[in-house]
Amino acid sequence: MAITNRINFRNFRGDFLGGLTAAVVALPMALAFGIASGAGASAGLWGAILVGFFAALFGGTPSLISEPTGPMTVIITAVIIETTASDSQNGLAMAFTVVMLAGLFQIAFGLLKLGRYITMLPYNVISGFMTGIGVILIFMQIAPFLGQATPDGGVIGVIRELPTLITQARPQETALGLLTIAILFLYPKSLKKVMPPQLVALVIGTVVSMTLLSNSDIRTIATIGKITPGLPQLQLPTFSPNNLRLIFVNAMVLAMVGSIDCLLTCLVSDSLTRTEHKSNKELIAQGVANLITGLFGGIAGSGATTATVVNIQAGGRTALSGISRALILLVVVLWAAPLTSGIPLAVLAGIVLKVGVDIIDWGFLQRVHKISWKAAGIVYSVVLLTVFVDLMVAVVVGVFIANILTIARLDELQSQQSVKAITTGDDQIVLNQEEKEVLDAANGRVLLFHLNGPMIFGVAKAISREHNAIANYDVLIVDLSEVPVLGVTSALAIENAIEEAAEATREVVIIGANQRVKSRLEKLGLAKIIPADHWMDDRLLALKTGLNIVQQKINTFNPHNYRE
């Protein structure tokens, strides 16, 4: 496997145009996400440059564009708030340490080849998770949208202070925010390929604030401020034993969210370019990119869907598009950074608020209750947990509930199809003519217990239920010839059925058990109950043996062997 991504110059024009277009889209988003995170506009720009460059250089998805995204911004914002509260002096440095550690976790995910499993989540969980992130982004932008500082306490803090935020809204900045939202929502689709709406909103909002609102106080308290040109300073890892757990947990959350976000975007890229990404290589590249980004004070990033789609539509097909985009942004930061100082925060808040609206899975939310109320319950539960509790708690709880419901449904279907207890040669299972004749000749005194497929734990109840449904028989034949795997719980259920038969002085025959299944039953001690000659491989022979045992009991005239 090549270390670097697929880079060639055969599509240079398309890749350069794709990179240029993606850079134009990235600039306002990087500034907006940097400000929204609390790390500053410069951190957003360097995150866009470093994550974009190294993820493109080493990645496994040629046309993918990586940069700070909405989900990653939500996480890094919470991290900065938490680390700053823990250590006001070193909080921001600790947040960058979290980014570095998250990069190491992503590298580990790739080396352990976990890429194919990370996105194996039920769609209703992913939908609820992304919708919750969108809601968080919207709420966290309300205060700057209204020209005020975001209150402490996350979404709950914003809801608590919402009446105050509204009554104390600054008209000039609120007007700029509304202007931004109007441009983003009303922007003609035909112009999006010419100029991205985010950049248009950024330019118009800034021009309006510097001209029509130049006599107001908006430029003194609500703009980005000066961004010093030049390279970023090195951020060494900063932590102490007291906050090590805080850093570790947040890094794991950031790594997981970044991996899910990125690999979902990779699937979008695959569908547009008809290629197939290398998920594990992409995770390693994302990890390297975030590790380097954290070292230089940039906010974490992952694969960005909007930028990737824009890149592909403009002609980007290889990693050269992502690399050229990063280099274009580098030129902007090194030489044109002072030009961004007058951008109003309300405009950036409007841009991020629109991102939050777009992240919400409106299409699925409108239909999910028609598909299944259980699925709808999972979606809304994950949304509420994401917004009001914790992102990873939301994912874990959602996956757990979804898997439990799925397992219950599969167990129900497997139980109906895989466990049959018969005493006559009917059509419940496939028997040849001779087998049917032998079973019918036993006159109901031979119970053929046929199991089919993997015997997972949920089938245990069906085994007990089917066995208990038939009380009068002389010989129990357990057919395991079509059972590849026998779970512990199902093995114990079979053991109970066999022990009950043995206690009632009934004969037991086991047929068709493969070596693994037989070994498990023997370890339960069934070899002491079932004679060696009653472990068979042929069902017809087992049925004939059962019929002989029945006939012998009839001939010995033991009244207890007859039906009551």
pLDDT at res. 457:
58
Least confident of 62-66, 123-127, 176-180, 391-395: 391-395
pLDDT at res. 563:
45
Name the DSSP letter for residue 424. S
- Over range 231-253, report the average pLDDT: 87
Residue 482, classed as helix, strand or coil, is: strand
19, 320 contact by CB (below 8 A) = yes
Q: Which range scores top for mean pLDDT: 54-68, 122-136, 475-489, 491-505?
A: 54-68
What's at 96, amino acid-wise? F
Residue, of 225 and 509, whose pLDDT is higher? 509
User: Which pair of tokens denotes residue 145?
Assistant: 């949208």
Name the DSSP letter for residue 277. -
Tens of pLDDT, residue by residue over 76-111, are 998 998 888 888 888 899 999 999 999 999 999 999
- Over range 220-228, report the average pLDDT: 67
Examine the pLDDT at 214 and tell me if it is beyond 80: no
Q: Which positions ≥6 away from 185 have C-beta within 8 Å?
A: 354
Work out the number of other CB atoms within 10 angstroms of the CB of residue 160.
13
CA distance 214 to 2: 55
552, 520 contact by CB (below 8 A) = no
Name the DSSP letter for residue 40. -
Bridge partner list, 455: 486
- Over range 172-199, report the average pLDDT: 88
Instruction: Give percent of the chain with pLDDT exceeding 90.
Output: 25
- Over range 284-307, report the average pLDDT: 94
Distances (CA, A) of 45 to 26, 52, 309, 328, 529: 9, 10, 20, 12, 73
pLDDT at res. 4:
62
Tens of pLDDT, residue by residue over 9-20, are 888 888 998 898
489, 457 contact by CB (below 8 A) = yes
pLDDT at res. 473:
81
pLDDT at res. 219:
44
Looking up tokens 């398309």 gives 14
What's at 278, amino acid-wise? K
Least confident of 288-292, 414-418, 442-446: 414-418
Tens of pLDDT, residue by residue over 350-397, are 998 998 898 898 988 988 888 888 888 889 998 999 888 877 788 788
Distances (CA, A) of 377 to 247, 364, 386, 389: 32, 13, 14, 17
CA distance 164 to 246: 32
Exposed, middle or buried by CB within 10 Å (0-12, 13-18, 19+), for 487? middle
pLDDT band of 301, cuts 50, 70, 90: very high
Counting DSSP H helices and E strands in the chain, the numbers are 25, 7
CA distance 265 to 380: 23
In 3D space, the residue among 446, 435, 445, 424 whose CA is nearest the CA of residue 509 turns out to be: 446
H-helix or E-strand spanning residue 51: helix 41-58
Four-point Cα dihedral 171, 174, 176, 179, nearest 10: -120
In 3D space, the residue among 508, 546, 513, 515 whose CA is nearest the CA of residue 530 turns out to be: 508
The reported pTM is: 0.73
Examine the pLDDT at 408 and tell me if it is beyond 80: no
Q: Which range scores top for mean pLDDT: 301-305, 436-440, 442-446?
A: 301-305
CA angle 315, 304, 299 (to 5 degrees): 130
99, 290 contact by CB (below 8 A) = yes
pLDDT at res. 275:
84
236, 278 contact by CB (below 8 A) = no
Examine the pLDDT at 223 and tell me if it is beyond 90: no
Query: What is the arrangement of strands in the sheet containing 446-452, beginning at the earlier edge strand?
Result: 419-422, 446-452, 475-482, 507-511, 535-536
pLDDT at res. 216:
54
- Over range 321-329, report the average pLDDT: 93
Instruction: Give percent of the chain with pLDDT exceeding 70.
Output: 89
Q: Which positions ≥6 away from 275 have C-beta within 8 Å?
A: 62, 63, 269
Examine the pLDDT at 217 and tell me if it is beyond 60: no
CA distance 165 to 57: 44
Examine the pLDDT at 435 and tell me if it is beyond 60: yes
* Mean confidence (pLDDT) of the chain: 84
Q: Which domains does the chain have, with CATH numbers?
A: 25-389 (no CATH), 418-561 (3.30.750.24)
432, 419 contact by CB (below 8 A) = no
